[in-house]
């Protein structure tokens, strides 16, 4: 098959979606619930939206964090969204701090669609990537289901409850959101063989997470001096995170999960492939963005942030939310917060608070404005 045909075919979804939305006024609210204690962090996100002048609300849950935060999501949706129905549940990737709480959502709420990756369905396509030549398709399928136990449990729960299951690959549309990454081919043939949670690949390399952590030292930064490095590297399972994008009221909204530099660049490239139709650079559209992987410095770089958000030195013109454990000493990294601030973002962290961003939605009694994170002149140094 001609690769160009594949590219054009994938572009139809996001083109159609954005062109349709640019003619509408949308009301929406985005809730980030706190997840984790100490240095542990996770994601638990709820989104509600409708076209202005209607009450035809759609509700999406993106990751569920822990069991406790999953329960908090259920309670939040019932109290503030006044429903026990969720249209779309999205598991961005199989980490426990993203998937565990979704089982609570699936058990206690009625769900329309579950969106998860299911690599065990493709063992015949990927078995040649793995080291153990004695492995059969059946044994690989079993091992994948064991390694991705939280995701597989969601599949079983969905099948038990009669919930439709879909896989969130580039070009798919989930409600009014387009999937920007990962592509199916990249996920199955590059990322899955590299997952920390899969069997050893043939060409084994030392994981960056197996290296000993060195003591953190501080370095100076200013608005014009940036020390964030270009060569950040995260795990393949983080890179597999679903990146979602839409435009409400001519402003882009992006959810990134734990995506790294590779995935973010692929999402940008996918957007740019459609620039003939979309016309604007994504950096000119973003109004709200999730800071990837709780603000880890392994997941972003100056170059990718310039492409996503625009150049340094902007006035504040966008919102960035980051999920971080309430007592975390490592998330979000100050060097990352500074990088987003330089590019016009007001950065807000969950830590111990539920935070939300909204447009033309009902007021919430006794809620108050959050204080954004400040620019830091001392940030974490590198080795």
- Examine the pLDDT at 216 and tell me if it is beyond 70: no
- Examine the pLDDT at 107 and tell me if it is beyond 70: yes
Cis peptide before 275 (omega within 30 of 0): no
**Which pLDDT band holds residue 98 (cuts at 50, 70, 90)?**
low
pLDDT at site 195: 84
CA distance 44 to 90: 11
What 231-234 contacts at long range (C-beta under 8 Å, 24+ apart), as own/partner pairs, is 231/301, 232/260, 232/261, 232/296, 232/297, 232/298, 232/299, 232/300, 232/301, 233/208, 233/260, 233/261, 233/298, 234/208, 234/258, 234/260, 234/261, 234/293, 234/296, 234/298, 234/299
pLDDT tens, position by position, 291-306: 999 999 999 999 999 9
- Residue 206 is assigned to a structural domain of this protein: no
pLDDT tens, position by position, 11-68: 456 777 777 787 789 999 999 998 766 556 678 999 999 999 999 999 999 999 889 9
pLDDT at site 203: 35
- Residue 33 is assigned to a structural domain of this protein: yes
pLDDT at site 199: 47
pLDDT at site 19: 76
Averaged pLDDT of the chain: 87
pLDDT at site 18: 79
pLDDT tens, position by position, 168-197: 999 999 999 999 999 999 999 999 998 855
- Examine the pLDDT at 279 and tell me if it is beyond 80: no
Name the residue range of residue 162's domain. Answer: 3-201+215-361
- Examine the pLDDT at 227 and tell me if it is beyond 90: yes
- Residue 158 is assigned to a structural domain of this protein: yes
Contact 93, 118 (CB under 8 A): no
CA distance 208 to 346: 31
What CATH number has the domain bearing residue 71?
Answer: 3.60.15.10
- Residue 378 is assigned to a structural domain of this protein: no
pLDDT at site 278: 60
CA distance 65 to 15: 32
Quote the distance between the C-alpha of residue 334 and its chain's center.
Answer: 20
CB-neighbour burial class of residue 182 (10 A; exposed 0-12, middle 13-18, buried 19+): buried
CA distance 345 to 373: 10
Phi, psi at 104, each rounded to 5° = -65, -45
- Examine the pLDDT at 129 and tell me if it is beyond 80: yes
Number of independent structural domains in the chain: 1
- Residue 130 is assigned to a structural domain of this protein: yes
- Residue 122 is assigned to a structural domain of this protein: yes
- Examine the pLDDT at 201 and tell me if it is beyond 60: no
pLDDT at site 280: 82
- HSE at residue 201, side-chain half, CA atoms within 13 A, is 18
Give me the residues paired with residue 355 across strands. 32
pLDDT at site 15: 74
Contact 180, 255 (CB under 8 A): no
- Examine the pLDDT at 3 and tell me if it is beyond 50: no
- Residue 36 is assigned to a structural domain of this protein: yes
């Amino acid at each position: 098959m001609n690769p160009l045909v594949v590219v054009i075919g994938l572009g139809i979804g996001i083109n159609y979606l954005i062109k349709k939305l640019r003619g509408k006024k949308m009301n929406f609210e985005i809730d980030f619930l706190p997840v984790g204690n100490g240095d542990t962090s996770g994601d638990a996100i709820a989104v509600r939206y409708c076209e202005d002048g209607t009450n035809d609300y759609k509700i999406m849950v993106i990751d569920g964090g822990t069991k406790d935060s999953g329960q908090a999501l259920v309670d939040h949706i019932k109290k503030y969204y006044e429903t026990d129905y969720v249209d779309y549940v999205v598991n961005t990737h199989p980490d426990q701090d993203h998937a565990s709480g979704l089982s609570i959502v699936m058990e206690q709420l009625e769900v329309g669609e579950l969106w998860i990756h299911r690599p065990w369905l493709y063992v015949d396509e990927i078995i040649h990537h793995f080291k153990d030549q004695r492995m059969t398709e059946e044994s690989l399928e079993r091992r994948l289901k064991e390694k991705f136990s939280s995701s597989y449990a969601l599949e079983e729960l969905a099948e038990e409850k009669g919930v439709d299951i879909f896989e969130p690959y580039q070009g798919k549309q989930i409600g009014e959101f387009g999937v920007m990454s990962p592509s199916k081919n990249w996920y199955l043939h590059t990322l899955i063989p590299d997952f920390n949670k899969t069997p050893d690949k043939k060409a084994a390399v030392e994981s960056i997470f197996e290296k000993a952590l060195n003591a953190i030292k501080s370095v100076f930064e200013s608005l014009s001096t940036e020390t964030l490095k270009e060569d950040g590297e995260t795990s393949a399972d983080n890179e597999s995170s679903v990146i979602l994008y839409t435009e409400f009221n001519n402003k882009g909204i992006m959810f990134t999960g734990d995506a790294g530099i590779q995935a973010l660049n692929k999402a940008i490239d996918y957007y740019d492939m459609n620039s003939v139709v979309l016309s604007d650079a994504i950096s000119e559209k973003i109004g709200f963005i999730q800071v990837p992987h709780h603000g880890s410095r392994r997941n972003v770089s100056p170059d990718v942030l310039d492409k996503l958000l625009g150049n340094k030195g902007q006035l504040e013109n966008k919102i960035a939310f980051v999920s971080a454990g309430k007592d975390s000493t490592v998330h979000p990294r100050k060097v990352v917060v500074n990088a987003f601030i330089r590019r016009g973002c007001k950065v807000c962290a969950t830590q111990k608070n539920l935070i939300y961003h909204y447009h033309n939605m009902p007021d919430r009694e006794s809620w108050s404005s959050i204080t954004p994170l400040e620019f830091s002149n001392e940030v974490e140094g590198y080795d």
